[in-house]
Chain A
Amino acid sequence: MSGGGWVRAYHLLPDFLGMLWAGAVMTVIVTAGGFVFAIVVGLLLAALRTGRSRLLHSLIYVYVEVFRAVPVLTQLFIIYFGLGAIGIRLNPIPSAVIGFGLNGGAYLTEVFRSGIESVNRGQTEAALSIGMTRTKALLYIVLPQAVRVVLPSIANFAIGLLKDTSLASAVAAPELSFNAHMLVDRTFLSTQIYLLVAVFYLAMSLPLSAVLHRLERGAARSRRA
């Protein structure tokens, strides 16, 4: 192996870091956007699912199953290229946020549903018996308890999402992976650049997984209590 590549990479390091830093910021933006979108979709659909409408149940079921069964890359391409071809042009970043939001929303619908189901029925009954409406009981009594149960799953989802945003590079969203490809195209230092990018991702995901471990320990403790 030629050491020249490493020497060249060392000299170009300031350029690399600048470009990758800008990409990392965009990665965080796409992750945060997709995360909020997914949480809103997931909470909304899980709440609607507790209703009695059969039609709504089936629609939500189809949405969840379809979006979970198809690769997120395909979904991104449908949103970015597919919609673009029929006249709905979205920029890469909004496409990515919508794609990850819808994909994650399907996943989180299931997560929140299992959380809601884990809350003892007596809680709802008690809330109804003191005169709360079904909606109020769900909002103030059931959901706060459900969210606590599913916090580890949500943290897990966030870590997965952070890494999945690398796929947004395929629709030319200028995030960390995309900027890395540009640098590789320019310098051909693929090993050095992708290793550096791996370090960037680790620096973002390891703190998140530390949070996850704390949440999991907390959840295990509250189960035992």
Chain B
Amino acid sequence: MISPQTLALIREWLPQLLVAAGQTLQMTVWAYALGAVMGLLIALGGMSRQRWLSGLCRVYIEFIRGTPTLIQLFLIYFGLTSVNIVIPGFQAAVIALGAHYAAYMAEVYRSGIVAVDSGQREAAQAIGMRRGQAMAYVIFPQAVRIILPPMTNFAISLLKDTSVASLIAAPELMMRANDITSEYYMPMQVYLLSGAMYFAMSYPLSLGVRYLERRFGRGRQLNLNLA
């Protein structure tokens, strides 16, 4: 089915695609880190007693969740040039994807924190902890087990979403595939090959999520039995 010529070509493309897959992973890691930090700040801001702050965080989340990643990416990459801010493709993609996932991660943090029984907070305050201390030492460690599976899920979808960065010509796997396609005009072979590389990166992650869900799912049940 695969001719020797095609095989030779694949051997030629493979190193380029592997380098690009490395860039995809880099973009994923940076955007994930940005999203995780920003998301935590937004979640905490959303729970703040300052009305304007929690309102602002709410609006941010709704705006991000209501519009496509693509449009957010274009606003940052093309839109900001009109105010003379020019950001290279890779960085623009990291910022756009990070800002995008921050909104979703904020919701996950919030639901994890809310899920911790309010008695925990009261007990922490009863022994003299401040709000921040109670959050850091008592509530957050318990919320982590609820937060972890969806957070790993975000890593998978983020990895796939980096492909959108090809549309602003940021260097990553999808863009490399587009380049090779326009050079050789063998879209089927090239996109199947790049698809296989995405699979090789995201499938192990999704097995990891399943493991986490099983593990922590059991933990939650145990808690219920004790209660």
Binding site for B on A (CB under 8 A): 1-2, 5, 65-66, 68-75, 77-78, 81-86, 159, 163-167, 169-170, 177, 180, 184, 189-191, 194-195, 197-198, 201-202, 205-206, 209
Cross-interface CB contact of A191 among B62, B65, B79, B160, cutoff 8 Å: B79
Who on chain A is nearest to B159 by CB?
A71
Q: Which residues of B contact A209 (CB under 8 A)?
A: 65-66
Cross-interface CB contact of A71 among B66, B74, B174, cutoff 8 Å: B174
Q: Which residues of B contact A191 (CB under 8 A)?
A: 75, 78-80, 82-83
If A72-B160, A73-B164 touch, whether A177 touches B198 (CB-CB below 8 Å) is: no
Nearest chain A CB to B125 CB, angstrom units: 28
Contact indicator per residue, chain B 67-85, by CB within 8 Å of chain A (1) or not (0): 1111110110011111110
* Contact A78 B66, beta carbon cutoff 8 Å: no
Q: Does B216 contact A (CB under 8 A)?
A: no
* Contact A74 B163, beta carbon cutoff 8 Å: yes
Nearest chain B CB to A72 CB, angstrom units: 7
The distance in angstroms between the C-alpha atoms of A73 and B163, with both chains bound, is 7
If A70-B160, A190-B78, A195-B75 touch, whether A65 touches B203 (CB-CB below 8 Å) is: yes
Summarize B's interface: helix, strand, loop or mixed.
Answer: helix
Who on chain A is nearest to B163 by CB?
A71
If A163-B69, A202-B63 touch, whether A70 touches B195 (CB-CB below 8 Å) is: yes
Q: Does B188 contact A (CB under 8 A)?
A: yes
Who on chain B is nearest to A164 by CB?
B68
* Contact A85 B83, beta carbon cutoff 8 Å: no
* Contact B82 A81, beta carbon cutoff 8 Å: no
Nearest chain B CB to A145 CB, angstrom units: 22
Q: Which residues of B contact A184 (CB under 8 A)?
A: 78
Contact indicator per residue, chain B 183-224, by CB within 8 Å of chain A (1) or not (0): 001111001101100110011001000000000000000000
Q: Which residues of B contact A167 (CB under 8 A)?
A: 68, 70, 164
* B66, B75, B202: residue with the most chain A Cβ atoms closer than 10 Å: B66
- What are 8 A-B interface contacts by the 8 Å CB criterion? A69-B156, A69-B160, A73-B166, A75-B195, A77-B177, A190-B74, A194-B71, A198-B75
Who on chain B is nearest to A205 by CB?
B66
Binding site for A on B (CB under 8 A): 62-63, 65-72, 74-75, 78-84, 156, 160-161, 163-164, 166-167, 174, 177, 181, 185-188, 191-192, 194-195, 198-199, 202-203, 206
Who on chain B is nearest to A170 by CB?
B167
Q: Which residues of A contact B166 (CB under 8 A)?
A: 73
Summarize A's interface: helix, strand, loop or mixed.
Answer: helix
If A84-B187, A85-B187 touch, whether A78 touches B163 (CB-CB below 8 Å) is: no
Q: Which residues of B contact A73 (CB under 8 A)?
A: 163-164, 166, 174
Who on chain A is nearest to B178 by CB?
A77
Q: Which residues of B contact A165 (CB under 8 A)?
A: 68
* Contact A81 B181, beta carbon cutoff 8 Å: yes
* Contact A202 B67, beta carbon cutoff 8 Å: yes
Who on chain B is nearest to A77 by CB?
B191
Given A66-B199, A194-B79, 6 new contacts (CB under 8 A): A69-B203, A77-B187, A82-B187, A177-B70, A190-B75, A201-B66
Who on chain B is nearest to A181 by CB?
B74
* Contact A198 B181, beta carbon cutoff 8 Å: no
* Contact B161 A81, beta carbon cutoff 8 Å: no
* B70, B188, B203: residue with the most chain A Cβ atoms closer than 10 Å: B70
Cross-interface CB contact of B199 among A70, A189, A194, cutoff 8 Å: A70
The distance in angstroms between the C-alpha atoms of A72 and B192, with both chains bound, is 12
Nearest chain A CB to B194 CB, angstrom units: 6
* Contact B75 A201, beta carbon cutoff 8 Å: no
* Contact A202 B174, beta carbon cutoff 8 Å: no
Nearest chain B CB to A218 CB, angstrom units: 18
* Contact A169 B82, beta carbon cutoff 8 Å: no
Who on chain A is nearest to B192 by CB?
A78
The distance in angstroms between the C-alpha atoms of A5 and B79, with both chains bound, is 12
Who on chain B is nearest to A189 by CB?
B82
